[in-house]
């Protein structure tokens, strides 16, 4: 016979407890899964934010590096331009010194010869004349000996300025050294034109030259040679103008036009 269940005993209770435990376990697992998912999501967000921050920092760093690089490039460009300008200026100064007289700034003999060659070529092409004048400052040695070289240099500078102010821009006045100057007149029409310029140069020296505390009287002796009558080469024109100048000084004239017979009167050239 089947046994009766004692009073007060609960028959189905064990089954109910198992169900509750199973439900609780499932709920715990679901909660744990959710917590794990939330944690994973938070970690993903953290990694994304870290990545964004790193990107921003890299961008800032890159912009700073780029700005610094641009500044260096700008400074290097400015320095390169400055160095190039300095080199050009130095080259120009060297070229200027090679062609100019240090005391007066006038063209020296080398530059004069170059311009004279060009003037001869143009005159031949256009059927014109070229006048070359050799100028000597009279009694310049007396100025140097009595007043000193500084006053003498000042006198030469004053003479140079007056010569330049009297001539055309197309003409050239050159210092050959010492107290000697050479004037090149391009494309003159006749001997008469050259003589007029010589008289003008002599007149412009008439007013006293103020050098320091001194008022100096300066006169010139001028010799003139013409292309093509008195020579067709640079050397011949210079030599004949020098001969005419020395003849003027010896004869007491202010200026002389070259003639071949002057050589007979001046067999030996002397220092002026």
* Residue spans per domain, the chain: 14-99, 109-265
**pLDDT confidence of residue 272:** 42
Which among 252, 220, 229 is positioned nearest to 134, based on CA atoms?
A: 220
Per CATH, domain 109-265 is 3.30.70.270? yes
Cα–Cα dist 176/166, whole Å = 19
Which among 135, 132, 130, 116 is positioned nearest to 255, based on CA atoms?
A: 135
Q: Which two tokens stand for residue 240?
A: 């004949």
Mean pLDDT (the chain, rounded): 84
Cα–Cα dist 104/83, whole Å = 30
Q: What share of the chain is helix, strand, coil (3-state, %, to 5)?
A: 60, 15, 25
Task: Render pLDDT for 109-136 as a digit per residue (tens, 0 to 9).
Answer: 999 999 999 999 999 998 889 999 999 9
Q: Please identify every residue annotated as catalytic.
A: 179
The CA distances from residue 12 to 3, 5, 22, 242, in Å, are 16, 12, 16, 151
Report which DSSP code applies to 225: E
pLDDT at 14 over 70: no
Q: How large is the average pLDDT for residues 86-97?
A: 56
Sign, CA torsion 184/186/191/195: negative
Sign, CA torsion 120/121/127/128: negative
The CA distances from residue 22 to 13, 33, 36, in Å, are 14, 16, 21
pLDDT band at residue 269 using 50, 70 and 90 as cut-offs: very low
**More confidently predicted of 204 and 58:** 204
Contact 124/233 with Cβ under 8 angstroms?
A: no
SS3 187: strand
Q: Which of 179-183, 232-236, 237-241, 263-267 has the least mean pLDDT?
A: 263-267
**pLDDT confidence of residue 45:** 80
pLDDT band at residue 55 using 50, 70 and 90 as cut-offs: confident
Cα–Cα dist 76/241, whole Å = 56
Q: How large is the average pLDDT for residues 218-245?
A: 96
pLDDT band at residue 57 using 50, 70 and 90 as cut-offs: confident
């Amino acid at each position: 016979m089947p046994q009766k269940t004692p009073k007060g005993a609960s028959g189905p209770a064990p089954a109910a407890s198992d169900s509750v435990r199973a439900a609780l376990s499932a709920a715990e697992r679901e909660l744990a899964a959710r917590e794990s998912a939330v944690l994973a999501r938070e970690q993903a967000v953290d990694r994304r934010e870290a990545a964004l921050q790193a990107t921003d920092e890299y961008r800032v760093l890159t912009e700073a590096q780029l700005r610094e690089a641009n500044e260096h490039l700008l400074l290097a460009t400015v320095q390169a331009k400055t160095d190039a300008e300095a080199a050009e200026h130095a080259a120009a100064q060297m070229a200027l010194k090679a062609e100019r007289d240090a005391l007066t700034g006038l063209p020296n003999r080398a530059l004069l010869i170059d311009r004279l060659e060009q003037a001869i070529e143009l005159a031949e092409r256009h059927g014109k004349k070229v006048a070359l004048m050799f100028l000597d400052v009279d009694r310049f040695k007396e100025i140097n000996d009595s007043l000193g070289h500084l006053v003498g240099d000042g006198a030469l500078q004053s003479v140079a300025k007056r010569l330049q102010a009297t001539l055309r821009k197309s003409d050239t006045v050159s210092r050959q050294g010492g107290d000697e100057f050479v004037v090149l007149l391009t494309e003159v029409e006749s001997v008469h034109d050259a003589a007029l310029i010589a008289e003008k140069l002599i007149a412009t020296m008439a007013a006293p030259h103020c050098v320091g505390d001194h008022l100096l009287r300066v006169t010139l002796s001028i010799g003139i040679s013409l292309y093509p009558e008195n020579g067709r080469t640079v050397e011949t024109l210079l030599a004949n103008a020098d001969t005419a100048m020395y003849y003027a000084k010896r004869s007491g004239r202010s200026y002389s036009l070259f003639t071949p017979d002057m050589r007979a009167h001046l067999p030996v050239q002397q220092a002026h």
